[in-house]
Amino acid sequence: MAGKVAEKRKALRENLIVLAERQITQNGLSSLRARDLAKEAGCATGAIYNVFDDLTDLILTVNARTFHRLAADVTAALDKAPDVALDQLVAMGLSYHQFAKSDYNAWRAIFDVERDPSTPPPDWYLQELAHLFGIIDGPLSIALPDMDPMERQLFTRTLFTSVHGIVMLGLDDTSAAVQSDAIETMIKLLLTHAVRPLS
Amino acid sequence: MAGKVAEKRKALRENLIVLAERQITQNGLSSLRARDLAKEAGCATGAIYNVFDDLTDLILTVNARTFHRLAADVTAALDKAPDVALDQLVAMGLSYHQFAKSDYNAWRAIFDVERDPSTPPPDWYLQELAHLFGIIDGPLSIALPDMDPMERQLFTRTLFTSVHGIVMLGLDDTSAAVQSDAIETMIKLLLTHAVRPLS
């Protein structure tokens, strides 16, 4: 009996993740409503909170899957790139852009989710982030062999955040700071200039 | 009589701008409600739409003032910096960070306002943006004298957007990609590496 209850809970959980993911992907994070989700899942609204702490917990679970797809895309771009560190970094930057563009709503949800800032981010988030930074660090350590490893860690985050800034403003139709057709040129320009040993 | 009506309209407009600015600055853009504004201004909600096209028009007017303060801060930082192009660029980047940090809600409103993406941004926005990019272009043209001017225009936007990305994620308590106490080091690291002539 306990097994059946656990199974049912697990099935509801999975179902809610799939439904929430579809809603976020198709209509954006701001369109997500617990009541609508429950209706689609055929459960009471309160039943959502038997399998998730709150709606944010469910959104973060969807975001974890998005982050996973993103890291897979970036890794695939790295694997396909020529064996030249700068080219590899550019390929990863461009794949970040492609992902954000083609999976815009899910990608935005990673950054737009409202989380209580007084508690640390969930472990999976920190792990996914560390994983992504680890992928970038490989070619960067080859391009900048003399950079202090601690400084390189910071530089990895600097480059990621810079590319993110270009992509974020470039895909935002209302901002006009970056034309969307200039995003790729700007990513290349940034990395070509920034990823050189200081003489 | 017509003069008195025009005066009254102007006074209401000014009053609404000040009230909206205070509300955005103190509680963030998402807290802004036409009904609350009208109550504070002592007018009917509908009267707002006699002096502004819609709430977005009012928000953009507040954003124009914020943009103006930002450009003034960045210009002051440039004027105070040593006569070395890289130092000037770093000083401007750091003043952008300081502005965003100390005037966070107003700064976020510039990027968070929801505008119809099918119409171009208002002229004042494009002018303010061009003005800001023009300030950056000065020292950049000295640091990179051989860069093609068209490419330098793009590079100006690239550097602005990169610094913006660092500041945006750094000031977002929920993201964890950038520690807020690392923002200044990352801005310096980025500019020191990126603003060098390609050999």
CATH number at residue A62: 1.10.357.10
Same structural domain, B90 and B170: yes
Same structural domain, A13 and A80: no
**The one-letter amino acid at B189:** L
Same structural domain, B89 and B172: yes
Same structural domain, A167 and A152: yes
pLDDT band at residue A168 using 50, 70 and 90 as cut-offs: very high
Instruction: Considering only the beta carbons, identify the residue of A158, A168, A186 that sits closest to B154.
Output: A186
ipTM of the complex as predicted = 0.90
Same structural domain, A187 and A99: yes
- Rounded to whole angstroms, the Cα distance separating B73 from B69 reads 6
B4 interfacial to chain A (CB closer than 8 Å): no
A117 interfacial to chain B (CB closer than 8 Å): yes
Number of domains within chain B: 2
Q: What is the mean pLDDT of residues A13-39?
A: 96
Distance from the Cα of B193 to chain A's closest Cα (Å) equals 5
Same structural domain, A32 and A126: no
Q: Which residues of A touch B120 (CB under 8 A)?
A: 176
Which residues span the domain enclosing A131? 54-198
Same structural domain, B158 and B193: yes
Q: Which two tokens stand for residue B52?
A: 């502004």
Encode A44-83: b = buried (16+ Cβ within 10 Å), e = exposed.
Answer: eeeebeebbeebeebbbbbbbebbeebbebbeebbeebee
Same structural domain, A63 and A42: no
CB B136 within 8 A of CB B159: yes
CA B75 to chain centre: 13
pLDDT band at residue A78 using 50, 70 and 90 as cut-offs: very high
Q: Do the Cβ atoms of B161 and A172 come within 8 Å?
A: no
Same structural domain, B73 and B44: no
CATH, residue B4: 1.10.10.60
A147 interfacial to chain B (CB closer than 8 Å): no
Same structural domain, B67 and B135: yes
DSSP 8-class letter at A83: S
pLDDT digits over B28-69, tens only?
999 999 999 999 999 999 999 999 999 999 999 999 999 999
Q: Which long-range contacts (CB under 8 A, 24 or more apart) does B114-117 make?
A: B114/A174, B114/B56, B115/A174, B115/B56, B115/B60, B117/A173, B117/A174
Q: Which residues of A touch B196 (CB under 8 A)?
A: 193, 196
- Rounded to whole angstroms, the Cα distance separating B45 from B175 reads 37
Same structural domain, A59 and A32: no
Helix locations, chain A, DSSP H: 2-27, 34-41, 45-51, 55-80, 85-102, 104-112, 123-143, 149-171, 183-194
pLDDT digits over B82-104, tens only?
999 999 999 999 999 999 999 99
B132 interfacial to chain A (CB closer than 8 Å): no
Q: Which residues of B touch A182 (CB under 8 A)?
A: 154, 157
